[in-house]
Structure 1
Amino acid sequence: MARARGRESFAIGNVRVRAGSTKAVELPITRLVTGGDVSLPVQVVHGREPGPVVWVNAAIHGDEVLGVEIIRQVLAALSPRTLRGTLVAVPVVNVLGFMAGSRYLPDRRDLNRSFPGSPRGSLASRIAHLFMTEVVAKCEVGLDLHTGADRRPNLPQVRADLDDPRTRELAEAFGAPVMLNASVRDGSLRQAARETGAAVLLYEGGEASRFDEEPIVAGVSGVLRVLAALGMVDRPDDEPAPVSKVARRSGWVRARSTGILHLEVELGAYVEAGRRIGGLSDTFGRRVRLVHADRSGIVVGLTHAPIVNAGDAIVHIAEIDDA
C-alpha cells in the first residue's frame, strides 16, 4: 500500500484517480436541444506500480460496436492492484452516432477525419480536440479499435507503421492473423496521435453493428498481449502469440458488372492471382460475369451484400511479404 500512496494520482478532466484504483469519468461534450448533457465516457485503471500510460478506444464510428465489447472484456481482466502503469479506456468516442446506430455524427461528419480538432470548430472537431487533449496527450501508446463497414466484415488485422521499430514490435505482440503496413489518412486519429509521438495500432475485425466471436476473442487477446509486451501485466501462461503474416500492399477486387454476387472465398483464404473467387448473375440465375483475383494474397475483407453494382468493392486481398 505504501507504493500506491507514493505514486501520483492521474489527472483527467476535473478529477484525479488514485494509484491502485479504477474510476469512471465523464468528459462533457455538448448539450442536447432537450437540455440533457452528452459526455465522453472514460474509465481509468491507474495501477499501483509505475509503468506506461496507454489508451484503448472504440466506436469512433458509431456503428462499430464490436470494439466496445473488446474493451469491456479487457477491463474485466485487469486489476489496478496489479497493473503496472495506467490504462485509459474510451469504449465509445462517437457517443451521438453510437446512440443512433450511425457511423457518423448528426451533421454527417466522419469523426475519424476530424482530428486533431479544434475547441471552437464543428461538433466533430470539438470531440476530436477533447479526445486529443484529455486522452492522447497523456498517453504514449494507443490502440484504436475498428470494424469493417455494414455487410463488409474484416479478418482480424492490425494496421500500423511497420517501418517504425517500436510500433512493429507492438504489432507483432498483438498477434493478429495479418499486420498491414498502412499509410495514415488525413484527419484520422492515428495520424494526429502519431504526430504527438505516440505509437498507435489500429485493429480491424468483424463488421459494423454486430458482435462476432472470432474478432472479439482476437481483439481481447491482442490488447492483453500488447499490455504484457509493455510490462503492464504479466504474460499469460498460454501459447505464445501467433506469428502475423506481413503485408505491405492490398487492394479491392471490384465488380466489373452489376449483378447478384455469389462468392467462392472466405475471410483468411489464400488466393492466387487469376483464381476464380466468385461470379455475378442476373435475377434469373444466368451468369453475367466471373470474378477473379487480381493479385495473390490473403482475403482480409469482403462484402456480404448480395447485389452489387459495377465498381463496387467485392474482395479485399492483402499481398503477403514473403521476406
Structure 2
Amino acid sequence: MASERKARRAAFTFGDHKVQPGSRASLALELPGQSRYTPLSMPVHIIHGKKDGPTMFISAAIHGDEIGGIEIVRQLLKQKALNRLHGTLICVPVVNVYGFLNHTRYMPDRRDLNRSFPGSEHGSLAARVAHVFKTEILDRADYGIDLHTGANHRTNYPHIRANMEDEETARLARAFNTAVIVNATLRDGSLRGCAVDQGVPVLLYEAGEALRFETLAVSAGVRGILNVLGAVGMIKRTAKRRPHVTVEAETSHWVRAKRSGLIRNPIALGSHVEKGDRLAHLSDWLGDEESDIRATKEGVVIGRTNLPIVNEGDALFHVAEFDNAEKAGRTVERFASSLEGLGEGDYVDPVVAEE
C-alpha cells in the first residue's frame, strides 16, 4: 500500500535553493569582499541522488592558478554513473575565484587561501572566503577530495597526498588507485587539516602544472574520483579493468640548486633514480661553469621545475622515497599505460582496488 512505501528522500537545501532527489543544479555561492559593481560568486554543482548515501565534496582551484581540477570536474559531471548516485555530490570547480580570474595562486590580500582555514566571518578576505567554504560545503560533507596541480612553473606526477595514519583515509587513498601515495603531514590552516579536525576524511590529489590542462593528470583524476565514489557506496562498483597497483611513500624530499644558472635535459617525471644519478645539467650563462645536479637519495621523481633559469636554493626535483624504490619505479611506468585509450565518456566502469 502507498502508506507502507518508503518515504521519499528529502530535498538538499543549499541557501535559498532546494535540490530534489534524482536531480542536479548549478548554483552560485556569493563571496565577500567586492563592491556591488563587481560581484563575485563561487560556482557549485550539486547532484542529489534518489537514494540515501554519503555527501562528498570535490573542490578545485583553491589555489587560483591550479586549474587542472576544473577540467577534471567538467569531465566527471558527464559520467553516466552519476545518474544513479546514492547520496549527494557537491562539486566546486573554482574555490579561489579571485586568484583564478587573475591567474595567480593567492587571494587579493596576498594570503594563501589554503592556509586560512577554518576562517572567520570577520577576519581577512582570505579568512572570510575560507569561512564561506567551511560553513556551506565542508560542514555538509562526510568525505572530500581536493584537486591540486604543481605550483607555478612546476609539474607533478599524479599522486595522492593523505594522512595514512587514519584507517578510512588510507582506504580511500588506495581506492583512488593512482600510482603513488605520499603519507603527507597536515599543514596548519589547510582545508585538509580543517577537515581532519572535523572528522572528515579528505584526499589531496596532485597532478600536472599550474595554468595547464594535462591529459594524464585529468584522466587519472576522473578515474580516481569514480573509484572513491565506488568505495564509499555512492556509485556501483565494477571491476572490468584490473586495478592498478599503488605504491606508498613514507616521505619525500626536494633536491635544490647549489648554485644559480641554467638547467638542461631534466629527467622525466616518474623516473626511478638511485643516489648519485644525474637529474639535470647545470651551467652558467656562457657555459664556462658546468656541472650535474644529482640525486641525493634513491626514489621516484614526482615533481620538477619547468623553468630552465634557477637560483641557488631553488627547489628543482621532488623525489618520493620507498622501501623498494625500484619496484615503485616499475609501478609508475605501468601507470600511464593503464590510462591509455580512456576519453571523456570511458569512465563508466570504475575500478576499485581490493583491500
Deviation at 1:78, TM superposition (A): 4.5
Could you tell me which residue of structure 1 aligns to residue 62 of structure 2? 60
Equivalent of 1:145 in 141, 144, 147: 147
Tell me the SS of whatever aligns to 1:166: helix
Residues 166/310 of structure 1: CA separation in 2 closer, same or farther (3 Å cut): same
Residues 81/157 of structure 1: CA separation in 2 closer, same or farther (3 Å cut): closer
Tell me the SS of whatever aligns to 2:84: coil
Could you tell me which residue of structure 2 aligns to residue 135 of structure 1? 137
Could you tell me which residue of structure 1 aligns to residue 270 of structure 2? 268
Equivalent of 2:228 in 226, 229, 242: 226
| Distance in 1 (alpha carbons) for counterparts of 2:38 and 2:163 | 41
Could you tell me which residue of structure 2 aligns to residue 173 of structure 1? 175
Residues 30/78 of structure 1: CA separation in 2 closer, same or farther (3 Å cut): farther
Query: Are 1:296 and 2:298 matched, yes or no?
Result: yes
**Higher normalized strand content (fraction of residues):** 1
Letter in 1 for 2:263: L
| Distance in 1 (alpha carbons) for counterparts of 2:174 and 2:184 | 15
Equivalent of 2:116 in 111, 114, 117: 114
Could you tell me which residue of structure 2 aligns to residue 125 of structure 1? 127
Could you tell me which residue of structure 1 aligns to residue 13 of structure 2? 11
| Distance in 1 (alpha carbons) for counterparts of 2:129 and 2:73 | 20
Relative to structure 2, which stretch is displaced further, 227-236 or 103-112? 227-236
Question: Is the Cα contact below 8 Å between 1:4 and 1:20 reproduced in 2?
Answer: no
Could you tell me the TM-score, scaled by structure 1's length? Answer: 0.95
Tell me the SS of whatever aligns to 2:193: helix
| Distance in 1 (alpha carbons) for counterparts of 2:216 and 2:125 | 34
Question: Is the Cα contact below 8 Å between 2:179 and 2:246 reproduced in 1?
Answer: yes
Equivalent of 2:319 in 313, 317, 320: 317
Tell me the SS of whatever aligns to 2:139: helix
| Distance in 2 (alpha carbons) for counterparts of 1:133 and 1:106 | 21
- State the Cα RMSD in Å: 1.7
Letter in 2 for 1:317: V
Deviation at 1:14, TM superposition (A): 2.3
1:117-160 deviations in Å (ceiling 9; x for gaps): 01111111111011111111111110000000122100000000
Question: Is the Cα contact below 8 Å between 2:32 and 2:129 reproduced in 1?
Answer: no
Could you tell me which residue of structure 1 aligns to residue 94 of structure 2? 92
Could you tell me which residue of structure 2 aligns to residue 42 of structure 1? 44
Question: Is the Cα contact below 8 Å between 1:190 and 1:200 reproduced in 2?
Answer: yes
Letter in 2 for 1:21: S
1:60-117 deviations in Å (ceiling 9; x for gaps): 0100110000011111114664111110000000011111111111111110010000
1:267-321 deviations in Å (ceiling 9; x for gaps): 1000001212222112223343221101111100001111111111111100013
Question: Is the Cα contact below 8 Å between 2:254 and 2:316 reproduced in 1?
Answer: yes
Residues 4/186 of structure 1: CA separation in 2 closer, same or farther (3 Å cut): farther
Question: Is the Cα contact below 8 Å between 1:257 and 1:289 reproduced in 2?
Answer: no
| Distance in 2 (alpha carbons) for counterparts of 1:243 and 1:229 | 16
| Distance in 2 (alpha carbons) for counterparts of 1:279 and 1:89 | 42
1:178-228 deviations in Å (ceiling 9; x for gaps): 100000100000000111110010000001000110101010110111001
Deviation at 1:233, TM superposition (A): 1.1
Gaps of 5+ in 2: 326-355
Gaps of 5+ in 1: none
Query: Are 1:76 and 2:68 matched, yes or no?
Result: no
Tell me the SS of whatever aligns to 2:279: strand
Residues 301/80 of structure 1: CA separation in 2 closer, same or farther (3 Å cut): closer
| Distance in 2 (alpha carbons) for counterparts of 1:161 and 1:54 | 18
| Distance in 2 (alpha carbons) for counterparts of 1:114 and 1:176 | 28
Could you tell me the TM-score, scaled by structure 2's length? Answer: 0.87
| Distance in 2 (alpha carbons) for counterparts of 1:80 and 1:215 | 21
Letter in 1 for 2:214: D
| Distance in 1 (alpha carbons) for counterparts of 2:6 and 2:17 | 18
| Distance in 2 (alpha carbons) for counterparts of 1:18 and 1:68 | 25
Deviation at 1:172, TM superposition (A): 0.6
Deviation at 1:236, TM superposition (A): 4.3
Identical residues among aligned pairs (%) = 47
Question: Is the Cα contact below 8 Å between 1:264 and 1:278 reproduced in 2?
Answer: yes
Question: Is the Cα contact below 8 Å between 1:22 and 1:44 reproduced in 2?
Answer: yes
Query: Are 1:210 and 2:239 matched, yes or no?
Result: no
| Distance in 2 (alpha carbons) for counterparts of 1:127 and 1:241 | 38
Letter in 1 for 2:259: S
Tell me the SS of whatever aligns to 2:133: helix
Q: How many residues were matched structurally?
A: 322
